[in-house]
């Protein structure tokens, strides 16, 4: 029996700033994981990744596991949690600049 598919988001780094970004429902790149599109089917996720990887303004796009939370996708691994929020040693980086508000690349 095939294993159930873990929902995925598409994430990458922005070419110009290097910021962590996510592919949204309308195909835009946003900085807030909660605004990312969660793919629940493998074929759709892989097709979207193939398209997203051709975007010259992003670097290193990949699929990342997410769980579906009340406010949108949430990370399942601590690495993605740090990518989502910024460094944990002190309050700076992404958490200082985005305030959780989605922004275009």
Partner 1 sequence: MYKYNDFDEAFVRERVAQFSGQVARRIDGSLTEDEFRPLRLMNGLYLQLHAYMLRVAIPYGTLNSRQMDQLAYIAETYDRGYGHFTTRQNIQYNWPKLPDVPAILEKLADVEMHAIQTSGNTIRNVTADHFAGAAADEVADPRPVAELIRQWSTDHPEFQFLPRKFKVAVSGATADRAVIKAHDVGIYLREQDGELGAQIIVGGGLGRTPMVGKVLKEWVAFEDLLPYLEATVSVWNLLGRRDNKYKARIKITVHEHGIDDIRARVEERFAQIKPAFGGIDREMLSEIETHFAPPAFRNAPTDEFDRAYETDPVFRSWADTNLSAHKATGYAIATISIKKPGDTPGDASADQMRTLAGLARDFGHDELRISHEQNVILPHVHKSDLPRIHAILKATGLATANVGLASDIIACPGMDYCALATARSIPVAQGIATRVEELGIEHDIGELKIKISGCINACGHHHVGHIGILGLDRAGVENYQITLGGDATETMVIGDRTGPGFAYDEIVPAIERIVETYLALRLNEDETFLEAYRRLGMAPFKAALYPAKEETAPKEKANAA
Interface residues with partner 1 (CB under 8 A) are 13, 15-20, 56, 59-60, 76-79, 82-83, 86-90, 92-94
Find, among 8, 103, 10, 98, the residue nearest to 60 by Cα: 10
The residue among 39 and 98 lying less far from partner 1, judged by its C-beta, is 98
- Closest alpha carbon to 19 in 8, 35, 30: 30
| C-alpha–C-alpha distance, residues 29 and 11, integer Å | 9
Q: Which C-beta is closer to partner 1: that of 71 or that of 92?
A: 92
Q: Which is nearer to partner 1, 41 or 88 (CB)?
A: 88
As given in the structure block, the two tokens for residue 12 are: 């990458």
Least distance to partner 1 from the beta carbon of 92, Å? 6
Minimum distance of partner 1 from residue 54's CB (angstroms): 10
Residue 38 structure tokens: 């969660």
């Amino acid at each position: 029996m095939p294993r159930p598919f873990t929902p995925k988001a598409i994430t990458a780094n922005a070419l110009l700033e290097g910021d962590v970004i996510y592919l949204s429902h309308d195909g835009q790149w946003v900085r807030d994981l909660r605004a990312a599109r969660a793919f629940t089917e493998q074929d759709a996720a892989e097709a979207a990744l193939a398209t997203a990887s051709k975007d010259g303004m992003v670097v290193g796009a990949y699929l990342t596991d997410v769980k579906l939370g009340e406010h949108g996708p949430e990370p399942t691994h601590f690495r993605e949690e740090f990518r989502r929020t910024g460094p944990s040693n002190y309050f700076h980086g992404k958490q200082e600049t985005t305030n959780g508000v989605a922004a275009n690349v």
